[in-house]
Amino acid sequence: MKNRLKVLRAERDWTQAQLAEALEVSRQTVNAIETGKFDPSLPLAFKVSRLFELSIEEIFQDDESI
């Protein structure tokens, strides 16, 4: 799954650790999502979308829809 998480985080000058704390996950989880090695659960995707005030579709794209 492709995502804009790294770009959105960088626009806010947040470290992976700061984003992880806001999402209540580990820094390793944030890194894995950013690099496409891990797809977030639906509750985590909703938490990300609320944090960035964007729809899930604006942050995450299914590989097949690209």
Could you please state the CATH topology (level 3) that the domain comprising 2-54 is classified under. 434 Repressor (Amino-terminal Domain) (1.10.260)
- What pLDDT sits at residue 58? 97
- What pLDDT sits at residue 20? 98
Residue among 9, 41, 37, 13 at smallest CA distance from 25? 41
The domains of the chain are located at 2-54
Q: What is the mean pLDDT of the chain?
A: 95
- Count of CA atoms in the C-beta half-sphere (13 A) of 15: 6
> In the numeric block, which tokens belong to residue 19?
């984003």
Per-residue pLDDT of 38-60, as tens digits, reads 999 999 999 999 999 999 999 99
pLDDT at 64 over 90: no
Residue among 42, 18, 13 at smallest CA distance from 59? 42
> In the numeric block, which tokens belong to residue 6?
């790294």
pLDDT at 65 over 70: no
pTM for this prediction: 0.89
CB count within 10 Å of CB 50 equals 11
